[in-house]
Amino acid sequence: MAETMITAGNEITPSLTFIQEAQAWYRAELARKLSRTQRAQFNQFQRGLIRGLVLDKQSQLVLNTHLIDWLLNAVKVPNADRIRGKNNLMKLLLKTKLPERAGSAPPQKTEPFNVNPELLKRLTTKGQAKGPVTRTLTGSGGAAYRAECLAAGVPIPPDFGPGSAWVSRGLIPQSSLFIVAGLGAEVLTYQSTSPEGMCVALPRFNTTTNLVELDGVICLGKTTSKVCFWDNEKNGTAFTFTRGDAVPFNNFGGGTELLASAGGVCSDCHAGENPYIIHPDPSTVLGGLAGLGLPTFGTNWHNPIVRTGDTQPWPENPGPINAPASCAGCHTQGVAGRFPQLSTALDGYCKTILKQAITRTMPPSAPGSLANTQEVKDFQALCNNPPQDPILAATGKLTLLRVHDLGTGFGPPTDFIDVEVVIGLDSQPGKFFGFQLRNDANRNAHRDMLNRLRDAFKNNRTVTIDYRSKAGKTNFVLFRVYLSK
């Protein structure tokens, strides 16, 4: 995962000034949503923490992270989990002494920062008890998430340490993109044959103390094309360990345990055909993995197993979409991989991965040379579009085939689909799928779909359909039908 601090698509070397400016923005945005009563409670909470104290700048920034937590608990914002994750990342960065400004001191982080002891005591005793907690955990985490991933054909990583099946593939130079400034970075791989697939870990460590501060893990099931994510943290609390030491993988958080992750929303950046976001240059550590015979792609478009079903679901790798003509020679299935469906739902991919690739690494023969072409600009502009409902597939035998009068539709007012053909599948109990049968541009295609479904219903054949999913709904519009032998 990309735990780098990013603004406007650029990596920022952590500094006191940058964190102060980021906190000021978040505090202002959240505070203006407080009610009069909440504002009084917040002021009381803040006064109780700072009364009688004279704080150095970094201690004040540590305090601010707790105040932002209070605000996030008190108000409802649509991106609360992402803000909480960035706030947790700031907490992590503030554990070491930071320079006043970027470039004013060597970026290597070696000296721990000691928070004002009285403030630390107050934060420990007062904690975050104030303010109503509005987050809801859904899905699975811990052992349940690992079991879900394994059942989906995704390998589960072994423990780290001596004698482990993890293999070091080398260090990534500090000059590389997307790596936290001031930390060393190593690429570790674990290849599995049952289920077939690969895990990649990217421990980022203090080169002086060898202490691993960040370690995201991504595992891909080659046959099923499912992907799972883990990190060295659980529920917003990170842990560190010495590089090379034995560390049980059960210590790593996954699924719902990555709520408010300092590593961010993993699937927001790790989108597209290649879940690892690997630069194709075979001379680089990551780019050379495919040349070693390691499975860097799934058989099909990868589908992440991530937090879904609540008010702030993680992106589920929407797409694919066609690449611009100037990029299509490589960005196809089986080569560099296809692009995801660009929209505001993939803010991290658009502003971090895509932007830096266009301006700094692509095309490999002349990096940045296409950045100002109209074709590429138009492609990037897709990032401003609202997200489409995700496309899902379902396979099964028909339990229902209904055809009714034009415009009568199907379902209750809160879950209504304006269709004339409705089907049910034995693999999707309680769900129904439909399409229109009208004299329009889709008339011939829809009549052919109906004929195929009639044949499948009559002969008890298995069908596969593609449909657009909507959160909280049980009736969906389908737009593609396949027959299986």
Using the predicted structure, report yes or no on whether residue 479 has a pLDDT greater than 50.
Answer: yes
Q: Cα(218)–Cα(200) distance, rounded to whole angstroms?
A: 5
Q: What average pLDDT score do residues 202-209 get? A: 90
Under 8 Å CB-to-CB from 232, ≥6 apart: which residues? 212, 214, 215, 216, 238, 239, 240, 241, 251, 252, 253
What pLDDT score was predicted for residue 179?
Answer: 56
What is residue 46's three-state secondary structure? helix
Please classify residue 435 by burial: count the beta carbons closer than 10 Å to its beta carbon, then call 0-12 exposed, 13-18 middle and 19+ buried.
buried
What is residue 351's three-state secondary structure? helix
Instruction: List pLDDT tens digits, range 113-139.
Output: 888 888 888 887 654 433 333 332 235
Strands 241-242 and 253-254: unpaired
Report pTM: 0.65
Q: Please name which of 154, 466, 149, 484 lies closest in space to residue 298, comparing C-alpha atoms.
A: 154
Which letter does DSSP use for residue 339 in this model?
B
Instruction: List pLDDT tens digits, range 304-313.
Output: 988 654 446 7
Q: Cα(242)–Cα(236) distance, rounded to whole angstroms?
A: 20
What pLDDT score was predicted for residue 191?
Answer: 97
What is residue 423's three-state secondary structure? strand
Every domain of the chain with CATH number 2.40.50 lies at 391-483
Under 8 Å CB-to-CB from 52, ≥6 apart: which residues? none
What pLDDT score was predicted for residue 382?
Answer: 92
Using the predicted structure, report yes or no on whether residue 245 has a pLDDT greater than 50.
Answer: yes
Q: In the structure encoding, which two tokens stand for residue 198, read together?
A: 């690969």
Q: In which band, very low, low, confident or very high, does the pLDDT at 4 lie, cut at 50, 70 and 90?
A: very low
| Backbone CA torsion sign across 379, 385, 386, 388 | negative
What is residue 96's three-state secondary structure? strand
Measure CA of the first residue to CA of the last residue in the chain; give whole Å: 41
Phi, psi (rounded to 5 degrees) for 77: -130, 145
Q: What average pLDDT score do residues 414-421 get? A: 94
Using the predicted structure, report yes or no on whether residue 16 has a pLDDT greater than 80.
Answer: yes
Question: Taking phi first (over 0 means left), then psi (-120 to 50 degrees means alpha), and beta for anything else, what does residue 277 get?
Answer: left
Between the alpha carbon of residue 275 and those of residues 297, 311, 368, 484, the distances in Å are: 8, 24, 23, 29
* Per-state percent for the chain, helix, strand, coil, to nearest 5: 30, 20, 50
What is residue 436's three-state secondary structure? coil
Q: Cα(238)–Cα(215) distance, rounded to whole angstroms?
A: 10
What is residue 253's three-state secondary structure? strand
Up-side HSE of residue 349: CA atoms within 13 Å toward CB? 29
Q: Hey, what CATH topology would domain 391-483 get?
A: OB fold (Dihydrolipoamide Acetyltransferase, E2P) (2.40.50)
What pLDDT score was predicted for residue 393?
Answer: 81
Instruction: List pLDDT tens digits, range 268-299.
Output: 899 999 999 887 778 888 888 988 999 999 98
Q: Highest-confidence range of 48-62, 153-167, 353-367, by mean pLDDT?
A: 153-167
Percentage of the chain lying above the pLDDT 90 cut: 39
Q: Which residue has the higher pLDDT, 6 or 84?
A: 84
Which letter does DSSP use for residue 382 in this model?
G
Arithmetic mean of pLDDT over the chain:
84
For tokens 């209504």, the residue is 416
Q: In which band, very low, low, confident or very high, does the pLDDT at 247 lie, cut at 50, 70 and 90?
A: very high
Using the predicted structure, report yes or no on whether residue 15 has a pLDDT greater than 70.
Answer: yes
Q: What average pLDDT score do residues 325-337 get? A: 86
Using the predicted structure, report yes or no on whether residue 9 has a pLDDT greater than 70.
Answer: no
Q: Cα(405)–Cα(417) distance, rounded to whole angstroms?
A: 13
